[in-house]
Amino acid sequence: MTSVHVEVGKNIRSVVGQMCNKELLDIVKLMKQYLSEQEVEIKSDVEKKGGKTLLQLKERIKNCQKCPLAKTRTHLVFGAGDEHAKLMFVGEAPGRDEDLQGEPFVGKAGQLLTKIINSIGLKRSDVYIANILKCRPPGNRNPEPYEIAMCQGYLLEQISIIKPKIICALGKFATQTLLNSQQPISQLRGRFFEYRNTKLIPTFHPAYLLYNPNDKRLVWQDMKKIKAEYEKT
Ligand code: SF4
């Protein structure tokens, strides 16, 4: 410490020593208020300049080790599509093909999702596609609550960057996680819910449809609702 710093320190201690507790509390309160105002200004400045992008987020999480799936993944599957998409699809987790290629929904279920997207006159590049989990659970087992808790924040960041008008939750895990509900997907699908300033509609997961093709007609009904809402945006 320089002698100037020592002198300043002594002066502060002497002033503080002469203050009563109430005065000190008032000063702390004022300082907190000042710092919080500064924080708000910095945040809004970053928002105005569009300081946060999907690319920056992808870069930040590319080596994530927050849950045990980091040890078994081949690639982290971040998500793909238009950063400014009005429609976003959220699935459960990468499968084998996705893990190998590092891209979401590229296997058989992914090909069906592409057809579903095309059925409402859109291309994959018009929408954004992501999952609740960014890494594949071994053997495609169900996600563990701990893994969802660790990973979910990344999806929320993606949503807040993209700001979609409509989110389509694919299947039970995405739906129950996003809506914080235990109701079965069969009761939730086909209805719009308010979710973080967005409309969220659950439907069946394409992987489920591969084994239950009769339910494709229900997904078609849900997609017609999405199309009608999309055209209003
Ligand atoms: S699943 Fe999510 S939390 Fe777990 S290691 Fe992958 S990115 Fe990180």
Which helix (DSSP H) or strand (DSSP E) does residue 2 occupy?
none
Percent of the chain with pLDDT over 70: 78
Taking the centre of ligand 1 as the mean of its atom positions, its distance from the CA of residue 44, in whole angstroms, is 29
- CA–centroid distance, residue 69 to ligand 1 (Å): 6
Count, residues in the chain: 233
How far apart, in whole angstroms, are the C-alpha atoms of residue 77 and residue 133?
Answer: 8
Instruction: Report the pLDDT value the prediction gives residue 3, as an integer from 0 to 100.
Output: 44
Which ligand 1 atom is the nearest neighbour of the CA of 147? 4
The tokens describing 224, both together, are 């017609």
d(CA 79, CA 67): 18
What number does the ligand 1 atom closest to the CA of 73 have?
Answer: 6
136 C-alpha to ligand 1 centroid (Å): 9
Range in 15-19, 64-68, 215-219 the model is least confident about: 15-19
Tokens encoding 207: 């992987």
pLDDT band at 14 (very low <50, low <70, confident <90, very high): low
Q: How high is the mean pLDDT of the chain?
A: 86
Which protein residue's CA is at the shortest distance from atom 7 of ligand 1?
134
pLDDT > 60? residue 38: no
Ligand 1 cavity residues, CB under 6 Å: 61, 64, 66-67, 69-70, 76, 133-135, 147, 150-151
For the ranges 2-6, 72-76, 161-165, 191-195, which has the lowest average pLDDT? 2-6
Mean pLDDT throughout 80-105? Answer: 97
User: Would you say the pTM of this structure is higher than 0.85?
Assistant: no
Question: Which residue has the least CA distance to atom 6 on ligand 1?
Answer: 135
Burial of 166 (0-12, 13-18, 19+ CB in 10 A): buried
140 Cα: distance to centroid of ligand 1 (angstroms): 15
Helix segments in the chain, DSSP class H: 3-18, 21-48, 54-61, 69-72, 96-101, 108-118, 145-162, 171-179, 185-188, 206-211, 216-232
pLDDT tens digit sequence for 171-225? 999 999 999 999 999 999 999 999 999 999 999 999 999 999 999 999 999 999 9
DSSP secondary structure code for residue 214 in this structure: G
Measured in Å, residue 25 CA sits from the centre of ligand 1 at 43
**What is the residue-wise DSSP string for 46-94?**
HHHTT---HHHHHHHHTT--SSTHHHH-SS----EE-TT-SEEEEES--
In the predicted structure, residue 97 carries a pLDDT above the cut 60: yes
CA angle, 30 then 44 then 77, to 5°: 125
* 124-171: pLDDT as tens digits: 999 999 999 999 999 999 999 999 999 999 999 999 999 999 999 999
Residue 23: phi and psi, rounded to 5, are: -65, -40
Q: How far is the CA of 102 from the centre of ligand 1 (A)?
A: 13
CB 206 within 8 A of CB 218: no
In this predicted structure, what is the pLDDT of residue 37?
Answer: 44
Residue 154 phi, psi (nearest 5): -65, -40
